[in-house]
Amino acid sequence: MEKKQQQSFFNKTDGQDFSNLKYLSGFGNSFSSEAIDGALPRGQNSPLVCPYGLYAEQISGTPFTSPRKHNQRSWLYRVKPSVTHEPFKVRLPAHGKLVSEFDKSNSSTTPTQLRWRPVDIPDSPTDFIDGLFTICGAGSSFLRHGYAIHIYTANKSMDNCAFCNADGDFLVVPQKGRLWITTECGKLEVSPGEIAVLPQGFRFVVSLPDGPSRGYVAEIFGTHFQLPDLGPIGANGLAAPRDFLAPTAWFEEGSRPGYTIVQKFGGELFTARQDFSPFNVVAWHGNYVPYKYDLSEFCPYNTVLVDHGDPSINTVLTAPTDKPGVALLDFVIFPPRWLVAEHTFRPPYYHRNCMSEFMGLIHGGYEAKADGFLPGGASLHSCMTPHGPDTKTYEATIAHGNEPGPHKITDTMAFMFESCLIPRICPWALESPFLDHDYYQCWIGLRSRFSSEGTDYERNGELTMRDMEQGRICA
Q: Is 381 a catalytic residue?
A: yes
Q: Is 224 a catalytic residue?
A: no
Q: Which residues contact 8 (CB under 8 A, 6 or more apart)?
A: none
Q: Work out the number of other CB atoms within 10 angstroms of the CB of residue 352.
A: 11
DSSP-derived secondary structure for 255-291: EEEEEEEEEEETTEEEEEEEEE-S--EEEEEES---E
Selection from 168, 64, 113 nearest residue 372 by Cα: 113
DSSP-derived secondary structure for 158-204: --SEEEEESS-EEEEEEEES-EEEEETTEEEEE-BTEEEEE-TT-EE
Question: Would you say the C-alpha torsion 40, 41, 42, 43 has a positive or negative sign?
Answer: negative
Q: Is 12 exposed, middle or buried (0-12, 13-18, 19+ CB in 10 A)?
A: middle
Q: How far is CA 377 from the centre of its chain?
A: 14
Contact 390, 371 (CB under 8 A): yes
Q: Is 95 a catalytic residue?
A: no
DSSP-derived secondary structure for 359-379: EEEEEE-BTTBSSS--TT-EE
Q: Three-state SS for 245?
A: strand
Q: Is 342 a catalytic residue?
A: no
Q: Three-state SS for 354?
A: coil
Contact 267, 91 (CB under 8 A): no
Say which of 150, 219, 381, 418 is annotated catalytic: 381
Distance CA 436, CA 10 (A): 30
Distance CA 40, CA 75 (A): 9
Q: Is 387 a catalytic residue?
A: yes
Distance CA 269, CA 267 (A): 7
Could you tell me the CA-to-CA distances from 311 to 115, 188, 341, 353 in Å, in that order? 20, 29, 15, 11
Q: Is 44 exposed, middle or buried (0-12, 13-18, 19+ CB in 10 A)?
A: exposed
Say which of 252, 268, 297, 351 is annotated catalytic: 351
Say which of 308, 343, 363, 395 is annotated catalytic: 308
Distance CA 77, CA 411 (A): 44
Distance CA 45, CA 47 (A): 6
Distance CA 417, CA 443 (A): 23
Q: Is 192 exposed, middle or buried (0-12, 13-18, 19+ CB in 10 A)?
A: buried
> What is the identity of the amino acid at 180?
W
Say which of 184, 194, 357, 367 is annotated catalytic: 357
Q: List, by residue number, the catalytic residues.
A: 308, 351, 357, 381, 387
